[in-house]
Structure 1
Amino acid sequence: MAVNTWVVVADGSRARIFETPGLRLDLREIEDLVNVAPSGATLTDKDREKFAKTVADYIEKGRVHQRYQRLRFAVEPKFLGMLRARLSEETRQMIFEEINEDLSALDAREIQAHLQRH
């Protein structure tokens, strides 16, 4: 069975999820989740917490449906804490790398290049 890795790139307003075979960095974007908090308003911690739950639910659903076997996070530090707190123990055990950086504004090629340096 082929091993898939999901790469989650996120901050409190946007989460992009990429899929790549094994440990290679051949990113293919499969989801772009956007925080639906009122536009123009500054995101509150409550908005970010709610969004962390949305992202965690998507990641959990992927695990249940066996869409990946490994997780790699490149997430803004504060949001990473919120996200981890909402993941099950089974899902947290699938995380093999965490980068405490917000790369969500970069395109797939730039994200790939950045991850290869880590």
Structure 2
Amino acid sequence: MNNVTWIVVAGEGRARIFASGDGSSALQQIDDISNANQTSALLTDKQAEAFSESERKEKERNKFAFQVAKYLEDGRQHQQFGNMRIIAEPKFLGMLLSYLDEQTKKLVSSHESKDYSSLSTKEVEEILARG
């Protein structure tokens, strides 16, 4: 069994993936995924009129949650981690968990509704050390 833990720290615009375990005491950031869809500048005026601002944001959050879920599923399929901890902005956490497949969900050891996505690696490490 893989003893690496992935720690996902996410908000609606950014998801950072850290690894811990496997002989190292420090967190190692292995990826930083940005929500490329977050900017609504890609929409034409006509498209923008068709959706309210809140509908656009919701759609963008859903797309990003789906993208992050697929990344995590790919990591599981390639046996890059043995368990996972997710710390995400509350709304995004719900979306992300809903998009994870059952096998990947089984590897989630804990999840927490907090948005630490803008914190430094050191700050995230300190928060995790406090429990």
TM-score for the superposition, normalised by structure 1 = 0.91
Larger helix share, 1 or 2: 2
Specify the alignment match of 2:6 in structure 1.
6
Structure 2 gaps, min length 5: 42-52
**1:83 is aligned to 2:91:** no
Shift of 1:115: 1.3
Larger Rg: 2
Specify the alignment match of 2:72 in structure 1.
59
Q: What's the CA shift string for 1:37-80, capped at 9, x where partnerless? A: 25376761000000001000000000000000010111111000
Find the partner of 1:68 among 66, 78, 81.
81
Percent of residue pairs bearing the same amino acid type: 40
Specify the alignment match of 1:102 in structure 2.
115
Q: What's the CA shift string for 1:7-37, capped at 9, x where partnerless? A: 0000111000011115x75210111100012
Preserved CA contact (<8 Å) 1:18 1:30: yes
**Corresponding letter in the other structure for 1:93:** K
Structure 1 gaps, min length 5: none
Shift of 1:99: 1.6
Output the CA distance in 2 between the equivalents of 1:38 and 1:82. 16
Instruction: Specify the SS of the correspondent of 1:104.
Output: coil
- RMSD of the TM alignment (CA)? 2.1
Runs of 4+ in structure 1 off by over 6 angstroms are 40-43
Specify the alignment match of 1:29 in structure 2.
29
**Count of aligned residue pairs for this structure pair:** 118
Shift of the 25–40 alpha-carbon distance from structure 1 to 2, 3 Å rule, reads farther
Output the CA distance in 2 between the equivalents of 1:56 and 1:105. 20
TM-score for the superposition, normalised by structure 2 = 0.82
